Amino acid sequence: MRVLAAMSGGVDSAVAAARAVEAGHDVVGVHLALSRMPGTLRTGSRGCCTIEDAMDARRAADRLGIPFYVWDFSERFAEDVVDDFVAEYAAGRTPNPCMRCNERIKFAALLERALELGFDALCTGHYATVVTAVDGTRELHRASAEAKDQSYVLGVLTADQLAHALFPLGATPSKALVRAEAEARGLAVAKKPDSHDICFISDGDTRGWLDERIDFAPGDIVDGAGALVGRHDGALAYTVGQRRGLKIGTPAPDGRPRFVLEVRPVTNQVVVGPREALAITELAGARHTWTGPLGFDPAVAFSCDVQIRAHSDPEPATARLLDGELVITPDAPLFGVAPGQTAVLYRGTRVLGQCTIDRTVSAVPARVGA
């Protein structure tokens, strides 16, 4: 196959590309320039946006003996990922930009360009597995390395995208093995620190970054009954489930800690309450996708596991498609669910699909719970 290997400059994508080469594919490396004003040197642990990262990717490609290009997706990235991230926060929601990037850049803009330019598949360093079923349909599954499993952020992929995806690291039991392999292959990125946090916020200060883009105004922190319990510097900086950083003067009557239950962008209010008021019994979203043929009718309630964050545990649930909305009912209430997050549905290790959460139903309505 002609394979386009997306190379961030990190160890995972470098080893993934190496394995694609070794598997006999005709591989070309590409680094996506995602920042309009890339920094020169990498700082801390953020890896993908600097010229140094592009150079790391280039040197890995040199080592593998494959052609290498830098393609500019900075405009698409700014519109589809960065602007979306800001807009979601401005709407009081909690977005996942990595997911958006997979959905709209890597497995959309990049994959489509690759296919038109004559490639058969896109290879990335994601830890996830693609299994071909007996009938030839492709299924997305969790990676063998449980701690590194990235199937969650790939939950947005559709059957068409999956048909052209190559994840050579999916069956590797641990990241340590990937690093050892990089070392053995003479890849200089073998010891490069893992990247985390949001790649386009270079110093990791999300609040400070958002501050320059969103009009944060001081406002009220209220309890579920609407009583004023404190002031905040900007409601949009808060995330549902957050406990720390609430500067509440008035203690709760029962003395128990309080959590953010809701962010109200229109009235610039943060609603707080006790932990049990965070318990969510239903979540739903209209923007949903499936990773392939399900083999059953999703309009009829089906059992599955739901995962709401990249590194949270899957929780048993029942889901169904109702009036175009994917409605998910966890067996036990879920905590820390915020609109804007993605709910990914699993059955066993298989990723079924996902939706962006639009609304949640609380076990204890906030007004009562406070």
Just list the catalytic residues.
Answer: 101, 199
Subset of 74-103 contacting other proteins (CB under 8 A): 74, 76
The beta-carbon contacts of 85-90 under 8 Å, at least 24 apart in sequence, are 85/198, 86/210, 86/213, 86/214, 88/340, 89/210, 89/214, 89/236, 89/237, 90/214, 90/236, 90/265
DSSP code at position 332: S
**In this structure, are strands 228-232 and 288-290 parallel, antiparallel, or unpaired?**
unpaired
Query: By CB under 8 A, is residue 109 in contact with other proteins?
Result: yes
340, 355 contact by CB (below 8 A): no
Cα–chain center distance at 225 = 34
- Closest distance of CB 115 from other proteins, Å: 8
Q: Give the end-to-end CA distance of the chain in Å, rounded to a whole number.
A: 59
- Closest distance of CB 200 from other proteins, Å: 15
Looking at the Cβ atoms of 114 and 229, the one nearer to other proteins is 114
Subset of 16-45 contacting other proteins (CB under 8 A): 28, 31, 33, 38
Give the binding-site size for other proteins (rule: CB under 8 A).
Answer: 23
Query: By CB under 8 A, is residue 62 in contact with other proteins?
Result: no
Please select the residue that binds other proteins; options are 67, 186, 293, 316, rule is CB under 8 A.
67
Please select the residue that binds other proteins; options are 83, 112, 146, 205, rule is CB under 8 A.
112
Looking at the Cβ atoms of 51 and 246, the one nearer to other proteins is 51
Looking at the Cβ atoms of 36 and 359, the one nearer to other proteins is 36
On the 0-12 / 13-18 / 19+ scale of CB atoms within 10 A, 120 is: middle
Angstrom distance (rounded) from CA 111 to CA 5 = 10
Angstrom distance (rounded) from CA 360 to CA 358 = 7
- Closest distance of CB 69 from other proteins, Å: 6
Query: By CB under 8 A, is residue 163 in contact with other proteins?
Result: no
Would you tell me which residues interact with other proteins (CB under 8 A)? 28, 31, 33, 38, 51, 54, 58, 67, 69-72, 74, 76, 108-110, 112-113, 115-118
